[in-house]
């Protein structure tokens, strides 16, 4: 079989693959993207964080995306009964974007790939990667299109952006268990006909039902709103006696005093999707001739909307390093890729863990607010998790735990 030749093959056209492709196209590399599905397709991951804007910019996608009028996200609100904690990205520690978007991913990913194709990127949709064989850094990838036609691609480097497809982790047996407790989610969209006017109608909110259980509400500029319930897997399983996701999410909406009126009677735009035990991990992030990015590496948890940001951070970085390598420059993948990505993942892992222990929630709702603490946590939630001048980054392992302890002790003293 005669193989097509490219410098860099990208598997998957989600956010990670799209920014990698955008960056490499700008640099003039010979690339190809292979995407299993037909776009638009439904996918979760609708609340972005400001750091992603840097990546869309670098990939040459920002201007096109900005023209679609996606809902702007200036911050996020966390509701716990009568207590409200709002983060405003313009009031954060350090440099960085003050806003981002909240987006129906079907439209957003289609917008990205339309722009890439307009720029001449070769994207093979409805084409699945079925195998990859490595010969040193070179590889031969087998693909199958929607008509069942099988062909091969010869590449000098492969960037695996296949998300939960986890193409290379499966083929090369790199999958490993997540260090996080098993959590699951169910989500769908509604036509938000009861949406209030003003900020209340458009604000992204997370309603805490119990310490480990929360409901997301993500309003879009097209009038629809995404609703999702997240919690420990056994809790989510028990939301419906028959295991029916529709019944489960209806029951979840009833648990939200804040949102039950707005959403209780609304029909769903598509059958609710159940994502069971969504956290994943891998034993290594790269190998000879390949790098894994986005959900093909680790996915932690949706609570701080970090998934797409890690997908684009790793997508752009892998693209840069791959290009350096095929241009004959030295690349220290361990240091420049794994260690860098793991630092950010480690910071967010602490925040996710401390959210579910309840420690971080102590800090969110502590009154009176400490503006310095809030600005520093806000910078983390905006995705600036490599800024070690921020003590809430540099000392993430202990600072939340210690402050929560002090808050609890102080409450005891004053009782
Ligand atoms: P994807 O977006 O999944 O794209 C991968 C692409 O690869 C897909 O289009 C797929 O069709 C293609 N593919 C797969 N297999 C093959 C194959 N064999 N051949 C060719 N193509 C293939 N993140 C956020 O930032 N904000 C959120 O609010 C958020 N909420 C979430 C809620 C839940 C419950 C979960 C589980 C995740 C959430 N995420 C969120 C995470 C987010 O969904 C992912 O981190 C993000 O989509 C990863 O992007 P990606 O490009 O790595 O993968």
pLDDT digits (tens, 9 = 90+) for 341-353: 999 999 999 999 9
pLDDT of res. 250: 97
Residue 168 host element (H or E): helix 167-171
Q: Are 186 and 236 in contact (CB under 8 A)?
A: yes
Stated length of the chain: 415
DSSP 339: I
Q: Is 413 a residue whose pLDDT tops 90? A: no
240 touches ligand 1 (CB under 6 Å): no
215 touches ligand 1 (CB under 6 Å): no
Cis ω before 217 (30° cut-off from 0): no
Q: Are 66 and 48 in contact (CB under 8 A)?
A: no
Rounded to an integer, the average pLDDT of 280-290 is 97
Q: Are 73 and 219 in contact (CB under 8 A)?
A: no
* Distance of alpha carbon 44 from alpha carbon 185, whole angstroms: 10
Q: Whose CA is nearest to atom 6 of ligand 1?
A: 12
Q: Whose CA is nearest to atom 45 of ligand 1?
A: 307
Q: Is 320 a residue whose pLDDT tops 70? A: yes
294 touches ligand 1 (CB under 6 Å): yes
**Spatial CA neighbour of 75 closest among 62, 90, 65, 53:** 90
**Spatial CA neighbour of 358 closest among 395, 408, 312, 311:** 408
Interval between CA 310 and ligand 1 midpoint (Å): 11
Rounded to an integer, the average pLDDT of 271-300 is 97
161 touches ligand 1 (CB under 6 Å): yes
pLDDT of res. 9: 98
Predicted ipTM > 0.90: yes
Q: Which fold has domain 4-72+98-177+280-344?
A: FAD/NAD(P)-binding domain (3.50.50)
Every domain of the chain and the residues it spans? 4-72+98-177+280-344, 183-275, 357-414
pLDDT of res. 3: 82
Average pLDDT value over all residues in the chain: 97
- DSSP three-state, residue 49: coil
Q: Whose CA is nearest to atom 38 of ligand 1?
A: 45
Q: Is 1 a residue whose pLDDT tops 90? A: no
Q: Are 386 and 344 in contact (CB under 8 A)?
A: yes
Alpha helices by DSSP H, listed for 197-306, are: 199-202, 233-238, 245-254, 260-263
Q: Are 15 and 306 in contact (CB under 8 A)?
A: no
Of 295, 382, 385, best ligand 1 pocket probe by most atoms within 8 Å of the beta carbon: 295
* Distance of alpha carbon 90 from alpha carbon 96, whole angstroms: 9
Q: Are 350 and 402 in contact (CB under 8 A)?
A: no
Domain 183-275, CATH class in plain words: alpha beta
Interval between CA 308 and ligand 1 midpoint (Å): 8
Angle among Cα 36, 54, 198 to the nearest 5 degrees reads: 90
What percentage of the chain carries pLDDT values higher than 90? 98
Q: Are 355 and 23 in contact (CB under 8 A)?
A: no
Q: Are 9 and 34 in contact (CB under 8 A)?
A: yes
Distance of CA 360 to the CA centre of its chain: 20
pLDDT of res. 415: 65
* Cβ neighbours of 268 (radius 10 Å): 16
Distance of CA 279 to the CA centre of its chain: 12
pLDDT of res. 202: 97
Of 227, 302, 381, best ligand 1 pocket probe by most atoms within 8 Å of the beta carbon: 302
- DSSP three-state, residue 132: strand
Query: Which ligand 1 atom lies nearest to the CA of residue 163?
Result: 53
Helices 105-118, 15-26: inter-axial angle, 10-degree rounding: 20
Query: Which ligand 1 atom lies nearest to the CA of residue 164?
Result: 3
**Helix (H), strand (E) counts: the chain:** 16, 19
Q: Whose CA is nearest to atom 15 of ligand 1?
A: 165
């Amino acid at each position: 079989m005669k193989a097509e030749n490219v410098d860099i093959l990208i598997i998957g056209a989600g956010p990670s693959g799209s920014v990698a492709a955008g960056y490499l196209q700008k640099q003039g590399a010979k690339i190809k993207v292979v995407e299993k599905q037909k776009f638009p397709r439904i996918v979760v991951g609708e609340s972005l964080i400001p750091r992603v804007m840097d990546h869309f910019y670098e990939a040459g996608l920002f201007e096109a995306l900005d023209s679609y009028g996606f809902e702007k996200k200036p911050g996020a609100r966390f509701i716990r009964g009568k207590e409200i904690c709002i983060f405003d990205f313009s009031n954060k520690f350090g440099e960085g974007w003050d806003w981002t978007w909240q987006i129906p991913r079907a439209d957003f990913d289609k917008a990205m790939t339309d722009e890439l194709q307009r720029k001449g990127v070769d994207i093979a949709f409805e084409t699945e990667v079925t195998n990859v064989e490595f010969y040193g850094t070179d590889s031969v990838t087998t693909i199958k299109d929607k008509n069942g036609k099988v062909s091969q691609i010869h590449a000098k480097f492969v960037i695996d952006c296949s998300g939960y497809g986890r193409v290379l982790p499966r083929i090369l047996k790199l999958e490993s268990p997540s260090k996080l407790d098993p959590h699951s989610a169910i989500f769908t969209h509604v036509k938000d006909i009861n949406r209030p006017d003003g900020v209340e109608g458009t604000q992204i909110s997370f309603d805490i039902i119990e310490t480990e259980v929360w409901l997301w509400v993500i309003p879009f500029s097209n009038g629809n709103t995404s609703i999702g319930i997240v919690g420990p897997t056994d809790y989510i399983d028990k939301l419906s006696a028959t295991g029916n996701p529709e019944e489960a999410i209806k029951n979840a909406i009833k648990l939200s005093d804040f949102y039950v009126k707005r959403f209780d009677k609304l029909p769903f735009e598509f059958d609710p999707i159940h994502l069971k035990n969504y956290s994943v991990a891998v034993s290594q992030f790269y190998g000879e001739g390949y790098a894994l990015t986005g959900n093909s590496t680790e996915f932690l948890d949706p609570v701080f909307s970090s998934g797409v940001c890690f997908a684009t951070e790793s997508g752009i970085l892998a693209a840069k390093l791959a290009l350096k390598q095929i241009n004959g420059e030295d690349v220290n993948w361990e240091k420049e890729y794994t260690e860098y990505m793991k630092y950010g993942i480690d910071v967010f892992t602490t925040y996710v863990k401390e959210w579910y222990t309840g420690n971080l929630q102590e800090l969110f709702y502590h009154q009176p607010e400490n503006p310095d603490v809030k600005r520093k946590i806000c910078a983390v939630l905006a995705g600036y998790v490599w800024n070690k001048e921020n003590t809430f980054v540099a000392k993430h392992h202990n600072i939340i735990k210690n402050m929560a302890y002090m808050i609890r002790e102080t409450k005891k003293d004053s009782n």
